[in-house]
Amino acid sequence: MLIGLARTSTLEQEAGLDAQKRALTAAGVEKLFVEQTSSVGPRPALEAAIEFGRDGDTIAVTDLSRLARSVPDFCRIQARLAAKRIELRVLNLGLDTANPTGKLMLNVLASIAQFEREMMLERQREGVAKAKLEGRYKGRAPTARRKAEQVYALADRGVRKTAIAAEVGMSERSVFRLLAQRVLVAGTEDRVATLP
């Protein structure tokens, strides 16, 4: 059976996800697993696809980056597939691990992909360092702090933290952190006010 795996890093990448679904369906995928999550976090669809696969099945992805972010990650996934005797097909490369040449090429390409990513990150770090030296680097805007008053107002009205996160468009973790900091600051101010 040909099993498809489509993945995008964020919910906003609908067009990319649709394109992957179309390509996998056109390739003859019979069962499709879809996820919208970072490749470095939990991968429920990948886990489900591997669990679903049986001896002789093939998992297909449109691009190697949809499967793994690094060579060690790719090697771990490939080892799990090999243990279950599941092959891997990468559509945009025309590679299939059902043959020895495909296995060799896949490992070489995974190494090149990681090298390119590391070079891109190095160039990014150099650019940030240069911008800092020139006084042009501002960093990422602190989203949570900008929305703090809105979070506090909703919390004061008794809105649950999960609902606050959804309404203001930030993670629950950020809401929890803002409210915890508010409690700490208020506690410190109370202690200071009681000093002689």
For the CA atoms of 74, 75, 76, 79, the dihedral, rounded to the nearest 10 degrees, stands at 120
- HEC string of 153-169? HHHHCCCCHHHHHHHHC
State residue 172's pLDDT score: 84
State residue 66's pLDDT score: 87
The domain limits of the chain are: 2-114, 143-193
Catalytic residue, chosen from 9, 39, 65, 70, is 9
State residue 194's pLDDT score: 44
Task: For 43-58, give one letter per residue: b (16+ CB within 10 A) or e.
Answer: bebbeebbeebeeebb
Q: Is 38 a catalytic residue?
A: no
pLDDT digits (tens, 9 = 90+) for 164-196: 888 888 888 888 888 888 776 665 444 434 434
Residue pair 6/21 in contact by the 8 Å Cβ criterion: yes
C-alpha pair distances (Å), 35 with each of 57, 80, 152: 20, 19, 33
Three-state DSSP at 135 gives coil
CATH class belonging to 2-114: alpha beta
Residue pair 91/42 in contact by the 8 Å Cβ criterion: no
The reported pTM is 0.56
Region 86-95: mean pLDDT is: 90
Residue pair 144/173 in contact by the 8 Å Cβ criterion: no
- Name the token pair of 151: 């979070």
State residue 110's pLDDT score: 72
- Name the token pair of 156: 């004061």
State residue 184's pLDDT score: 67
